[in-house]
């Protein structure tokens, strides 16, 4: 069978047309998912009486051999066959003749592509989840290693209140936890089979759609054939969940860039994971955080591109939907690489606890504690705030002067106040007073770490369960 007879294109289409419309250069990465989907489809065809058992066995054997040859680099894909789906069908038919031409019975490229994309996306989501879990473990490890390290907390990038570094790392941990939740939710909505929807109206061959769904370890079948072949919600949702994840990574990376500067000097860059300057021999640059920060914009751009492709498309399938894959594939590649690199960076990054503590002692960061203290002595908070603000302005950022002025003036506002009661204005005392749930006190942070361990174990079990489903693709190819 020649190339043109396997396409649905006109036999007189030009090479220029084929070059513009072909997608095999990027959708070739779906070959495993396409072959697994075809094996599952063939099982349904035999059950429906469309294929004999002998034909089914011959097709499945040939598909598995083809998968083996592709894996070993023995197969070349022809761009004139437009996409990976037509390439595989053509290669199969070349090998086993007419039996191979029966593979596409009761199936359209519309539901075939929808299935393959879902299978690929669920696999990629699980891979991202595993990388997020590794990064979360790295954050927990850094938090445990630096339980007693005090640092300045910021609002508006100005010194605000002292916090534990462990508390700061755990803030990033919980952000990533929400990212995991979004990814898992997306997976669960997406893991249903559209196969059997045909081009748009379903199939007339009486195929039991649950057969393919079970073989591929999907959680059911789509409810409506029109919706099934045109639905790319899961593509947009995946791109959003991963874009949100990258925004969280970018926030952490921005801090790491600042913290590694001479002005902050909170951390020392890992020499193996940083570059020097081509001109300035003394320089060491935070390449990994900077690149991740930059790649975040690229990921968000892909999300916008996907949403724009989907905007205003009428039911059912439209060729526009072909344009989702390059964006989606790059999102997964970018996010996976970024997570892996950042986890390695955090693991080798050195923290300077002395410098962090020195910075936490600057900028009158316990002024809020003083206002809170006055409130406990019966002074309304707004009035207490005003009293402390006047002292802070006069102290002009000098902590010793702030304490001196407080000792001089507060006894006039609070009868019986003794200067030793102001000892809580030191950073460690300020932190120890914030043991509320989710606070920066050492016990509260310790509780967070316990909760984090439970969360990590829970996520690990979910990943193991989802991995079992994802592995159904390889199981169909190898068994």
Burial of 16 (0-12, 13-18, 19+ CB in 10 A): exposed
Band (pLDDT 50/70/90 cuts) for residue 421 is low
Could you tell me if 217 and 40 are in contact, meaning their C-beta atoms sit under 8 angstroms apart? no
The one-character DSSP state at 397 is T
Whether 10 shows a pLDDT value over 80: the answer reads: no
Reduced to 3 states (helix: H, G, I; strand: E, B; else coil), residue 389 is helix
Would you state the pLDDT for residue 8? 54
Closest by Cα among 435, 396, 162, 395 to 407: 395
Q: Which of 5, 275, 277, 419 is catalytic?
A: 277
- CATH number given to 110-351+447-478: 1.20.200.10
pLDDT tens column, 202-236: 999 999 999 999 999 999 999 999 999 999 999 99
Confidence (pLDDT) at 4: 39
**Catalytic residue, candidates 10, 14, 76, 156:** 156
pLDDT value of residue 419: 66
pLDDT recorded at residue 282: 75
Q: What is the mean pLDDT of residues 462-471?
A: 98
- Contacts with 118 (C-beta within 8 Å, 6 or more apart), sequence order: 190, 191, 192, 193, 194, 218, 234
Q: Which CATH number fits domain 3-105: 2.60.120.10, 3.40.50.11540, 1.20.20.10, 1.10.275.10?
A: 1.10.275.10
How high is the pLDDT of residue 83? 95
In this prediction, residues 461-477 reach a mean pLDDT of 98
18 vs 57 pLDDT, higher one: 57
- pLDDT the model gives residue 1: 36
Q: Quick one: DSSP state of residue 458?
A: H
Is residue 168 flagged as an active site residue?
A: no
pLDDT of residue 298: 97
Calculate mean pLDDT across residues 62-84: 96
- Kindly calculate the radius of gyration of the chain based on its CA atoms and give it in whole angstroms: 30
Residue 458 has pLDDT above 50, yes or no: yes
By C-alpha distance, which of 474, 428, 471 is closest to 161?
Answer: 428
Mean pLDDT in the chain? 93
Average pLDDT over residues 451-457: 98
Q: Is the overall model pTM greater than 0.75, yes or no?
A: yes
pLDDT tens readout for residues 240-265: 999 999 999 999 999 999 999 999 99
The pLDDT > 90 percentage for the chain reads: 77
Each residue's pLDDT tens digit, 346-374: 999 999 999 999 999 887 777 888 888 88
Q: How confident is the model at residue 160 (pLDDT cuts 50, 70, 90)?
A: confident
What residue ranges of the chain are covered by domains with CATH 1.10.275.10? 3-105
pLDDT of 2 higher than 50: no
The mean-pLDDT minimum among 21-25, 170-174, 323-327 falls in: 21-25
90 a catalytic residue: no
Residue 410's pLDDT is 81
Rounded CA-CA distance 165/343 in Å is: 18
Calculate the alpha carbon distances from 255 to 172, 258, 272, 345 in Å. Answer: 11, 5, 20, 13
Which whole-number Å values give the CA distances from 271 to 268, 274, 354, in the listed order? 9, 5, 21
Q: What is the pLDDT of residue 6?
A: 42
pLDDT digits (tens, 9 = 90+) for 122-139: 999 999 999 999 999 999
Cβ count near 449 (within 10 Å): 16
Residue 3: what pLDDT? 38
pLDDT digits (tens, 9 = 90+) for 399-411: 788 888 888 888 7
Q: Which residues make up the CATH 1.20.200.10 domain(s) of the chain?
A: 110-351+447-478
CA–CA distance, 29 with 87 (Å, rounded to integer)? 12
pLDDT exceeds 60 at position 5: no
């Amino acid at each position: 069978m020649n190339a043109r007879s396997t396409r649905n294109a006109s036999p007189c289409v030009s090479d220029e047309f084929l070059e513009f419309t072909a997608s095999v250069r990027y959708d070739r990465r779906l070959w495993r998912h396409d072959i697994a989907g075809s094996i599952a489809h063939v099982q349904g065809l035999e059950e429906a009486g469309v294929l004999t058992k002998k034909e089914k066995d011959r097709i499945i054997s040939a598909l598995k051999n083809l998968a083996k040859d592709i894996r070993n680099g023995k197969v070349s894909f022809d761009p004139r066959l437009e996409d990976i789906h037509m390439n595989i069908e053509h290669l199969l038919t070349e090998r086993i003749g007419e039996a191979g031409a029966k593979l596409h019975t009761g199936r359209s490229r519309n539901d075939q592509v929808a299935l393959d994309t879902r299978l690929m996306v669920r696999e990629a989501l699980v891979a991202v989840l595993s990388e997020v879990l590794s990064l979360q473990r790295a954050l927990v490890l850094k938090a445990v290693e630096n339980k007693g390290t005090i640092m300045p907390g910021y609002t508006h990038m100005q010194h605000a209140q002292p916090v534990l570094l462990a508390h700061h790392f755990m803030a990033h941990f919980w952000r990533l936890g929400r990212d995991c939740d979004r990814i898992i939710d997306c997976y669960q909505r997406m893991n249903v089979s559209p196969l059997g929807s045909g081009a748009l109206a379903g199939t007339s061959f009486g195929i039991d759609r649950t057969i393919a769904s079970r073989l591929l370890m999907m959680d059911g079948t789509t409810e409506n054939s029109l919706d099934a072949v045109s639905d790319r919600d899961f593509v947009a949702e995946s791109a959003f969940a991963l874009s949100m994840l990258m925004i969280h990574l970018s926030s952490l990376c921005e801090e790491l860039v600042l913290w590694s500067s001479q002005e902050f000097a909170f951390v020392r860059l890992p020499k193996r994971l940083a570059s020097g300057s081509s001109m300035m021999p003394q320089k060491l640059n935070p390449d990994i955080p900077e690149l991740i920060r930059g790649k975040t914009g690229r990921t968000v751009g892909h999300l916008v591109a996907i949403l724009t492709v989907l905007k205003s498309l009428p039911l059912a399938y439209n060729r526009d939907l072909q344009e989702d894959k390059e964006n989606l594939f790059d999102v997964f590649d970018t996010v996976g690489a970024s997570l892996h690199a950042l986890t390695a960076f955090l693991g080798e990054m050195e923290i300077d606890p002395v410098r962090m503590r020195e910075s936490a002692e600057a900028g009158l960061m316990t002024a809020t504690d003083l206002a809170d203290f006055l409130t406990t002595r019966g002074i309304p908070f707004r009035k207490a705030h005003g009293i402390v603000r006047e002292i802070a302005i006069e102290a002009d950022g000098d902590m010793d002067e702030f304490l001196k002025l407080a000792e001089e003036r507060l006894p006039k506002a609070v009868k019986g106040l003794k200067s030793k009661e102001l000892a809580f204005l030191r950073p460690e005392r300020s932190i120890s007073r914030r043991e509320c749930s989710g606070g920066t006190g050492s016990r509260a942070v310790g509780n967070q770490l316990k909760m984090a361990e439970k969360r990590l174990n829970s996520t690990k079990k979910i990943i193991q369960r989802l991995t079992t489903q994802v592995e159904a693709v390889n199981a169909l190819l190898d068994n």
